[in-house]
Amino acid sequence: MFAESSIARCSLGCCFSRDAVSSPYPGSTAGQHGDSSHQINGHDHGHGQAEPPLHRAPSPSGASTATSRRPSRSAARRGAIPLNEHFNQPIRQHVWKSKRRIWTRATIDRERQVFFDTRVAGRPEIWAALSTALSLLREGDVSTAQGIIDAAGITVPTGDVCEGCYDESGALYKFPEAIVSDPVNLADDDATEESFKFDAGADLDPADDETSTTKLVMGSSSSDDLLDKEKERRREEKGKWNERDLIKVTARLSDRGGPDVVVSIGKEQTVAALARRIQVEAGLPTSTRIQIVYLGKFFRESHTLLAQGWKEGNVVNAYVRYPKQRP
């Protein structure tokens, strides 16, 4: 009787000890196992049998569940705008009014030709596609222009080319208003540009739209401009430039196929002085006017080359303007 009772107690004890040693969680402690058993027993009162090991395994808690949910929400937000897609709107005509320059058909056509001929950054095929599309857009053929834009892989986020457009690699292409469309106050060719004095490059540099204080002045130059030019001429005649301050400038004239003209000027001399030196070196009549263009931007005559972004050694374009012949 004693032996049977001992065997029963031993069996019972062995059962409990076997449950602790042969736990399916080798790294667990007694306290951890007790917690799991407590949860399981609390779930099933009075049934006298344990749940299968699958149900006793610790399930992910609320913290881990929240962690797994957060990336999924972020991924959903990111997936709303695929990375291979760009904001794009149908192109539309740009309407504007020139406030600082009198544009005629002849002058605006020449400026556009110079602009596209002097592009050095960006892809040539994109510039060519944009030039053709803008020409069609000005003629009112919006659908064909849109087709060229789409075929070239160009995106226009706002639909207005003046505000910038992008090629497939993400490069930005920007245009002044005068290149994109005609102003609503485009003047007739017989209005004569000579009736107005305007700053070269007005309406062509989009960065200066809000900051420029240039005004249209009827007739001759202002007294300040005349004084500055006179001082410049006198200084040139006296030769008060140190050789160490001289820079060589190569100019490519628009009225000929070559050769380029190379002149030397002082670093602090203005673009107006450079234009006069080119005029003399190229043998042009004094009645001609030379405008300096660099990277599609008309340089201001009252500023130096270096102050306007020119890099020493780079070629500038000299746009030669002959006086209009009277009938």
113, 212: one domain: yes
In order, the DSSP letters of 117-145 are HT--SS-HHHHHHHHHHHHHHHTT-HHHH
The pLDDT of residue 243 is 72
* Domain annotation covers residue 79: no
Closest by CA to 249, choosing from 296, 192, 306, is 306
* 297-298/289-294 β-pairing: antiparallel
* Domain annotation covers residue 46: no
Q: Are 155 and 165 in contact (CB under 8 A)?
A: yes
* Domain annotation covers residue 36: no
* Domain annotation covers residue 19: no
Length of the chain: 327
Q: What is the mean pLDDT of each run of 10 residues along the chain (327 residues)?
A: 48 47 48 44 46 49 47 47 64 87 87 84 89 91 91 91 90 90 82 45 44 29 44 52 81 85 90 90 86 87 91 90 67
Measured between alpha carbons, how far is 5 from 36 in angstroms, rounded to an integer?
A: 31
Question: What is the span of the domain harbouring residue 266?
Answer: 222-321
Closest by CA to 58, choosing from 43, 36, 79, 90, is 36
Q: At CA 189, angle to CA 185 and CA 191, rounded to 5? A: 75
For the chain, the domain total comes to 2
182, 308: one domain: no
273, 206: one domain: no
* Domain annotation covers residue 205: yes
102, 204: one domain: yes
135, 203: one domain: yes
Task: Answer with the one of 220, 239, 261 that is the final residue of a domain.
Answer: 220
239, 195: one domain: no
210, 138: one domain: yes
The pLDDT of residue 262 is 92
The pLDDT of residue 167 is 92
Closest by CA to 134, choosing from 146, 123, 124, is 146
- Report the first-to-last Cα separation within the chain, whole angstroms: 142
232, 299: one domain: yes
pTM, rounded to two decimals: 0.40
245, 207: one domain: no
265, 291: one domain: yes
The pLDDT of residue 11 is 47
* Domain annotation covers residue 14: no
Task: Answer with the one of 183, 198, 220 that is the final residue of a domain.
Answer: 220
* Domain annotation covers residue 257: yes
Q: Are 236 and 254 in contact (CB under 8 A)?
A: no
194, 298: one domain: no
* Domain annotation covers residue 73: no
The pLDDT of residue 204 is 52
- CATH code, 123: 1.20.225.20
- CATH code, 250: 3.10.20.90
Task: Answer with the one of 220, 253, 284 that is the final residue of a domain.
Answer: 220
The pLDDT of residue 240 is 55
β-pair partners for 247: 265
Measured between alpha carbons, how far is 76 from 99 in angstroms, rounded to an integer?
A: 49
205, 270: one domain: no
Measured between alpha carbons, how far is 90 from 307 in angstroms, rounded to an integer?
A: 38
